[in-house]
Amino acid sequence: MSKICHLILKHKYYDAIDRGEKTVEYRRNTAYWRRRILDCDRVVFHRGYSSTTMTFEIAFIAGDEEQIEIHLGKRMGG
């Protein structure tokens, strides 16, 4: 069973991903974000708190002590 992560983005970041200019999303490396992200294989981005979304496969997740990097794979919808 796949786990889906839902992330709310500011319009400028959502639009950059939509245009293909941004292929990595970053979050702080905290227990909260590790719990939410590390087991996911798909991510759904929400354009602010609207019903506009897009879904991507997660190619891989990397990071260091300060941040988690979500590298986007194939766009699946939205």
pTM: 0.91
Q: For residue 74, what pLDDT is reported?
A: 96
Rounded distance, CA 3 to CA 10, Å?
A: 23
Q: For residue 9, what pLDDT is reported?
A: 98
Element of type H or E holding 34: helix 31-37
Under a CB-based contact definition with an 8 Å cutoff, are residues 43 and 55 in contact?
yes
pLDDT tens string for the chain (78 positions)? Answer: 579 999 999 999 999 999 999 999 999 999 999 999 999 999 999 999 999 999 999 999 999 999 999 999 999 977
Domains along the sequence of the chain with CATH: 4-77 (2.30.130.30)
